[in-house]
């Protein structure tokens, strides 16, 4: 009999109504089949509508019989005990530095509740993020005591500005820990770019600090971890003090890059106007079309390159999974052993090169975009080189405001013959 993990999802919330709604929607979409999930929110909202949306989420999810549905659990909302503000206009979003104490106290209340109720895991998350449906399930499957998910923006194609700053700080601290002084003779920017590029490969990496989306195990929580300041540590970020304590307790912090969370800070970054409540219709502004097309073009090219490239010597070829809708991931996961064996047995090395991309955003208001892309695959199979040409028809679906995933795909060869299937192996086997 499988143990049903008790999960607490906690967040300190001070957010605009539109962004908050998308954050809560993404929590509802998380896969929770084998978990008992509760929520603990600290309400520090300025806007009445944000508080109203939070309470509506509680009403919909609270139930006196939590076993009736895994999608429903207990929602606790408590008011913040601080009175502060942040600046959030069309171009900027930041907290005043002297407000960090209030943030520390609010987060500690969440941690203390998690400890008191003996939850198996705490997912501590900022309220301006949208999560991939598989995020919670995947982070738990890593069996790490403390693991964060990387945060992206702009269509989930690149790390967000705040995430890049966080990664850069991690990079600098790692270099300070090195005993080899040769690093100081290198171009630091070039070295950091290589480090950032490495993190784009789906996987798990050691880090020094937690970020805006972090899963923490019961073992860490029960040892008394918290966000309180350490008086003689010259840093004001609450995450740094938390991370120092985890190291002292003997726990390593990790970051996962398989299912990046998507970040939205400002109105100008949403890319889609608010819903027309009466007609439940969405409208794409003409000025936003260029941005959407650029984001989709980037996603499509990255998807083709990463999904259809591989090297049997290091068993790559699964990096493109993060661009796929959940139903594709489930199917391909079942085929993964077969695909790996095929690549190794045939000593396959191949590189997919996207060429021309045509994008149709006519149905963008319906959260659907069609893309047709011509590409070639340069193949080395059993020491023989060859090149194959293909065309892909992709339907991308908007799962959250900044997350477009490939929801449908079909391939044809250069003779306009359909390829039966959608995996790399099936394309390679096409005569």
pLDDT digits (tens, 9 = 90+) for 321-347: 888 888 888 788 778 788 888 888 888
The model's pLDDT over 271-292, given as tens digits with 9 standing for 90+, comes to 433 332 222 233 344 435 656 7
Check residue 89 and give its pLDDT: 44
Task: Look at the pTM and tell me if it is higher than 0.85.
Answer: no
pLDDT digit string (tens) for 210-225? 889 999 999 999 999 9
3-state DSSP call for residue 384?
strand
Question: What letter does residue 276 receive in the DSSP assignment?
Answer: B
* Secondary structure element (H or E) that encloses residue 412, with its range: strand 403-413
pLDDT in tens, 33-46: 889 999 999 999 88
Give CA separation, 419 vs 109, 192, 348, 427, in Å: 55, 40, 19, 7
Phi then psi for residue 369, to 5 deg, are -135, 135
Please say if the pLDDT value at position 50 is more than 80: yes
Q: What percentage of residues in the chain have a pLDDT greater than 90?
A: 36
The rounded distance, in Å, linking the Cα atoms of 319 and 308 is 9
Output 21-28 pairs: Cβ under 8 A, ≥24 positions apart.
21/53, 22/130, 22/264, 22/400, 22/401, 23/127, 23/128, 23/129, 23/130, 24/53, 24/54, 24/57, 25/130, 25/400, 26/129, 26/130, 26/131, 26/400, 27/131, 28/61, 28/71
Cα separation values, 16 from 9, 19, 187, Å? 20, 6, 41
| Average of per-residue pLDDT across 102-107 | 86
Residue 208's pLDDT is: 84
User: What are the chain's domains?
Assistant: 5-263 (3.90.550.10), 273-428 (3.10.450.230)
Give the tens place of pLDDT for each residue, 184-204.
444 455 556 666 666 777 889
Residue 384's pLDDT is 80
In this model, does residue 65 exceed pLDDT 90? no
Instruction: Determine the pLDDT at residue 30.
Output: 94
**pLDDT tens-digit profile of 1-22?**
356 899 999 999 999 998 999 9
Considering 61-70, 268-277, 364-373, the range whose residues carry the highest mean pLDDT is 364-373
Tell me phi and psi for residue 173, to 5 degrees: -65, -35
**Average pLDDT value for the chain:** 79
Phi then psi dihedrals of residue 128, to 5 deg: -110, 25
SS3 content of the chain, % helix, strand, coil (to 5): 40, 30, 35
pLDDT of residue 310: 86
Per-residue pLDDT at 331: 81
Instruction: Convert the pLDDT of each residue in 107-153 to its tens digit.
Output: 999 999 999 999 999 999 999 999 999 999 999 999 999 999 988 87
Using alpha carbons only, give the angle 319, 323, 325 rounded to the nearest 5 degrees.
125
pLDDT at position 9: 97
Q: What per-residue confidence (pLDDT) applies to 293? A: 82
């Amino acid at each position: 009999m499988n143990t049903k993990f008790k999960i607490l999802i906690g967040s300190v919330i001070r957010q605009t109504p539109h962004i908050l709604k998308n954050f809560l929607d993404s929590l509802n979409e998380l896969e929770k089949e084998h978990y008992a999930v509760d929520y603990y929110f600290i309400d520090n909202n300025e806007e009445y509508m944000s508080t109203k949306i939070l309470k509506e989420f509680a009403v919909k999810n609270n139930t006196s019989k939590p076993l009736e549905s895994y999608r429903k659990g207990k929602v606790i909302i408590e008011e913040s005990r601080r009175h502060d503000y942040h600046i959030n206009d069309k171009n900027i979003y930041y907290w005043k530095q002297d407000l960090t104490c209030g943030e520390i106290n609010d987060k500690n209340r969440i941690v203390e509740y998690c400890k008191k109720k003996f939850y198996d895991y705490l997912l501590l998350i900022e309220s301006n993020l949208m999560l991939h449906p598989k995020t919670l399930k995947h982070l738990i499957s890593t069996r790490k005591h403390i693991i964060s998910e990387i945060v992206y923006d702009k269509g989930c194609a690149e790390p967000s500005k705040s995430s890049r700053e966080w990664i850069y700080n991690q990079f600098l601290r790692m270099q300070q820990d090195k005993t080899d002084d040769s690093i100081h003779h290198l171009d630091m920017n070039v070295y950091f770019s290589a480090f950032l590029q490495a993190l784009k490969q789906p996987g798990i990496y050691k880090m020094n600090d937690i970020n805006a989306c972090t899963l923490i195990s019961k073992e860490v929580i029960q040892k008394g971890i918290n966000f309180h300041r350490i008086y003689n540590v010259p840093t004001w970020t609450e995450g740094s003090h938390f991370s120092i304590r985890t190291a002292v307790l003997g726990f390593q912090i990790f970051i996962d890059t398989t299912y990046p969370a998507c970040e939205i800070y400002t109105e100008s970054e949403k890319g889609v106007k608010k819903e027309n409540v009466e007609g439940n219709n969405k409208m794409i502004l003409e000025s936003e079309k260029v941005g959407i097309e650029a984001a989709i073009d980037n996603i499509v090219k990255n998807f083709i390159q990463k999904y259809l490239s591989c090297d049997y010597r290091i068993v790559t070829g699964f990096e493109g999974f993060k661009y796929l809708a959940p139903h594709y991931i489930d199917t391909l996961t079942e085929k993964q052993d077969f695909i790996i064996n095929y690549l190794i047995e045939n000593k396959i090395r191949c590189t997919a090169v996207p060429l021309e991309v045509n994008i149709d955003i006519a149905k963008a208001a319906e959260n659907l975009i069609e893309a047709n892309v011509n590409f070639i695959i340069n193949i080395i199979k059993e020491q023989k080189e060859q090149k194959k040409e293909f065309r892909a028809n992709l339907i991308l679906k908007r799962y959250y405001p900044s997350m477009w995933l490939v929801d449908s795909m079909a391939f044809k060869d250069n003779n306009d013959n359909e390829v039966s299937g959608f995996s790399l192996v099936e394309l390679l086997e096409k005569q």
